[in-house]
Amino acid sequence: MIELGILGPVLIVLFMIFTEYSIFFLTEQKVETLSREAAQDAFADCRLITDPATRLACLNQVATNTEGILTHLMATAGYPNIAIGDYKIILTMWQVVNEAIVQGTPVVIGTLAGNSKYKASDFGPDPLGNGGNTNFIIETGGLFTCEIFYKQQASGNVPRSINFFGFNLSLPLLNNTIYTSGVA
């Protein structure tokens, strides 16, 4: 009984930590897949549209659908109170204009802090100077990126850090901004 009384709370805390981290990794994997799927949907639906306003409306529709899936995904992962300030979706089309890769008007949904991590040089000619990526973008009609920033929240009422007899125990993955991206 004494051993159970001493080890019981430790085992319960370990179980809670393992559960929390497994939810984190599962959520991160789902959101990363969502960003790839959103980029692929934008590529499939919007790349053949030549009118800029219609293309932007198409990108906006894909981003809105992605937002709905993201909020549903987060709610089923144990974060039912997700707000627009807890995520940001950036959906962008890249195309070649006058032999240079340019960024189209990005569609941004959400207000979480975070700027796009892509720049035109990320998709520029290959290091050997063969223009491989540029030619690929011309042939496929454009390149699409979807970036998702979201706040990984602790499930339930788990605090970010616990002060235990003067020792500060912090779970580093909780309540941080996580970034995922997809390219199609």
* Pick from 55, 127, 136: nearest CA to 101: 136
The CB density around residue 139, as the number of other CB atoms within 10 Å, is: 8
In the prediction, which pLDDT does 140 show? 78
Over residues 92-106, the mean pLDDT reads 84
- Helix (H) / strand (E) element for 179: namely strand 176-183
Instruction: Please write the tens of the pLDDT for every residue from 12-33.
Output: 878 877 877 787 888 889 999 9
In the prediction, which pLDDT does 91 show? 94
Over residues 168-182, the mean pLDDT reads 73
In the prediction, which pLDDT does 67 show? 93
Instruction: Please write the tens of the pLDDT for every residue from 33-68.
Output: 999 999 999 999 998 888 889 999 999 999 999 999
Phi, psi (degrees; rounded to nearest 5) at 105:
-65, 115
